[in-house]
Amino acid sequence: MVAGAWAAYVGVVDPWVGALFTLWPGSLTLHLALASDLLALATVHMYCFYGYACRLYQGWARALAALWRLFRGRKWNPLRRRVDSHRYDVDQMFVGTLLFGVLFFLFPTVAVYYAVFLSLRLVVLCVQGVLSRAVLVWDSLPFYTLAARTFTGRPVVGDLLFHALSSGPEFALYMQVIGGGVNLLPEPLGFPSWKDLLADLVVGRIVYPL
């Protein structure tokens, strides 16, 4: 079934990928963006397995947390959104003990599968992040300003400042040319905090490209 789905996916994507290679005369940023998109297309099966592993890991962890609250005589109250005390009978405690034992001893296996697919996903995201940052840096480089300063030796006009000069009935404007500076560093991008990212990895939330 998986092989058939992958073959169908390749059959749909292959003509479009071949058409993308006809864009080879494009700029460097176009090739970097195409490389990032082709990497996403080639690893879509890894993303699917990673999504399945995330859902399984997250559901498993929630089930263990709920059963752990059962042992402590607690229950999650969705109306008040808090944990309240609750009295369970013997049958509920017995079934909860059996389920907790099964889920607890199988949890390392689920965690290992989740860690494997998570590591593969992080590698893909790191490569895509490097490519996207390379596109950003290349687009932010002031090539015209550097060429003008190199070959002419004069600064490029950055801003024009006008001053109103009035002498009697006549009115004149004084134009002041302000040279533009050269900034080789791109504007900083907003990154999520490492605390939030680590919390997403531990809880089992899907990590998207930064």
d(CA 207, CA 210): 9
For the stretch 137-166, pLDDT in tens is 887 776 666 666 677 666 665 666 777 776
Over residues 95-122, the pLDDT tens digits come to 888 888 899 999 999 999 999 999 999 9
Output the DSSP codes for 50-113. HHHHHHHHHHHHHHHHHHHHHHTTEEEETTTTEEEE----HHHHHHHHHHHHHHHHHHHHHHHH
Q: What is the mean pLDDT of residues 89-96?
A: 80
Residue 111's pLDDT is 94
How far apart CA 152 and CA 133 sit, in angstroms, is 31
Closest among 206, 151, 205, 148 to 180, alpha carbons compared? 148
**pTM score, whole prediction:** 0.70
What residues pair up with 75 in beta bridges, in sequence order? 84
pLDDT at 3: 66
- Give the three-class secondary structure for 175: strand
Whether the Cβ atoms of residue 136 and residue 100 lie closer than 8 Å to each other: no
Sole residue written with tokens 């109103």: 164
- What are the boundaries of each domain within the chain? 23-140, 154-187
HSE (side-chain half, CA atoms, 13 Å) at 105: 5
* Gap between the Cα atoms of 136 and 146, Å rounded: 18
* Calpha distance 162→171 (Å, rounded): 13
